[in-house]
A and B are shown apart, each in its own frame.
Chain A
């Protein structure tokens, strides 16, 4: 108890300096927390994926479609419970800046495959009845102030023309990680239009979503699907939903690695700032340490005092930083929210924050402690300022 009081008194001897150091640690922890959250946002799709969903797409690459006829062949495969399919629509709402995911999907099975998209029964009914109907996530609807019954017009980069949809339902996410900014509509609506305007592109789907009866058999089913279409014009590549998202992320891994590196740079910067404060503090108090030694205090006591003070200062900064991270993340998500579905501070981030500040506190105390221990009593007493 006594030692804690001493630490507190010592820490706030230079109020301005300590306050500034705490402030800079707060900023650093805040930045670190935001960067980790930012990295986490990339992986949101992976988190939201389900173990019993498989994605089948064209083996050449995503831009090549698969024939609609594959649907029945896949359904015949053992352990396949349900199948749905969709197309990436690449729709643009008014301006390219308004980016959100939009798919043409086979609705009935799709809704059953994604139980995390919760839609009120009456809205679901209305959506299924209206071929021009569409459903949008809660966040998306809030952003554009749509209401049920509104007509939404999208311009597609892949399918020429303006496409009109009637908003029939607003879903909300079952889990926190569910993406609430997806826009989907009936695949039939797209297909019927294509039959008239571009018959060669009709009856083609971008990907199949396959639900397996048992997640343990997912690998086996994936292999069976790919084997069925081996040596055909459109060979398939089937992966679990998780692997599918991970392969996307791995394409941009250079950026993620860069952000990760930068998040460690901020920790190093802050070690420099905190170490500086401690170095100055210890430098001023060399005389006192000499007196402590004269009084018979052992080296480890003095070391404990310096390290304790350093940890005290960093932990105060750390706690303020942690407290500020969630509101800051909220603000930040308003800026980059178009690119990422969820922007949530995870509990691991807080643990890493605390770990990082302990590291900063310890590193900052190394040189001053070493100096204080090394000083000979006579030298220390002789020194001024």
Chain B
């Protein structure tokens, strides 16, 4: 068994050009495969990490995002009186009545307008989102036209940096701080005092109420009570569920696109591998005959060629993943169709994707190599010895 295998490896080296071409075809397929998985993973991670399991979002019934929602002051106060709302260290309610609107801002460089989320926050908003950290400057003072911007807004939008001024709602807003929200969607938001922003936009209603549960297991109870209250026409969702729903359509889109692309591309690469392996078998007919004559079993020949194909796939897979790993340096910013707003996320490589990519490349190698290998193993000894 040892000899045919080392013979196969050396064959790959001897026919370097063919090996490189076939493997690079597969590498590109694995690259695309991994890139799409990484994109979907990045999107998922961003939106899942945005929400936290213990937080509850209250929006108007039927609203799919905070932007579409409206919760009146009276309704917000009723939600505030629920006993399940957690309290902070100083006894304050961990509940925020927030206002969310979209504004169109020009991007740095291209000047193209894109929709950005502006969130009017309350005193507890920051406490409700432990993932948000102020990295520069200070928080906006209540009662002043001051705002803070998420890191990806500061980097990519005109007038988004600290000390700069944005004009909207007939006022100038000074950016007094930059916050970093890790991998979450908050990075693509601008925050300011809810009361000031509501004034500026002439809104009388909040968009949502967010609170932390005193005890996570009490969710069902509070959901039932709020949703059955005749004074309230609202939906109650866990925050992580709420954000996951916002990415559903985008994730579905990526999934369909990704599957279609990978299937089509992999067909091309499998055929490439098949061509290579068939020719490898054809040019070595005499040698295969010799090996059979020396006493190597059919199964060894079969194994040798399949291993050669698998190895070819593996080279392609490693190369493709190596290239794909550089994508992690990129950040994609695009419009989420469901919320209509800007969302930045990056390619994320997980061990799962690495395994999937390698597995996929081996499968491609195997499928491409199995038919030629069978042909090799079935060769008639005498006839193949005769072929030169």
Contacts and interface: CB of A to CB of B under 8 A. Distances in A.
Contacts of A20: 271, 274-275, 278
Interface string A243-258: 0000100111111001
B62 A284 contact: no
Interface in A148-179: 155-158, 160
Interface in B55-81: 60-65, 67-68
Interface string A202-241: 0000000000000000000000000000010100010000
B388 A24 contact: no
Interface stretch (A130-138, A262-270, A296-304, A348-356): A262-270
B272 A255 contact: no
B335 A251 contact: yes
A141 interface: no
Contacts of B28: 265, 268-269, 272
B271 A24 contact: yes
Among B25, B63, B110, B233, residue most surrounded by chain A Cβ atoms (within 10 Å)? B25
Contacts of B275: 17, 20-21, 24, 273, 276-277, 280
B256 to A, nearest CB: 6
A96 B265 contact: no
Interface string B267-280: 11101101110110
B334 A24 contact: no
Given A24-B271, A63-B67, A254-B332, A272 B101 contact: no
Contact of A269 (B102, B268, B335): B268
Interface residues of B, number: 64
Given A155-B62, A233-B170, A254-B334, A247 B271 contact: no
Contacts, number: 161
B334 A157 contact: no
B382 interface: no
Interface in B273-315: 274-276, 278-279, 282-283
A24 B104 contact: no
Given A276-B22, A335-B256, A385 B283 contact: yes
Interface in A338-385: 339, 367, 384-385
A209 to B, nearest CB: 19
A61 B267 CA distance: 45
B253 interface: yes
A64 B253 CA distance: 28
A114 interface: no
A286 interface: no
B113 interface: yes
B61 A160 contact: yes
Interface stretch (A26-34, A71-79, A115-123): A26-34
Given A30-B264, A272-B28, 11 more contacts: A35-B261, A63-B67, A64-B201, A99-B249, A157-B63, A253-B334, A265-B265, A269-B28, A275-B21, A283-B15, A384-B388
19 contacts: A14-B279, A27-B264, A30-B264, A31-B261, A60-B168, A63-B67, A250-B112, A253-B334, A265-B31, A269-B268, A272-B22, A272-B272, A273-B25, A273-B271, A277-B275, A279-B18, A280-B275, A336-B256, A367-B17
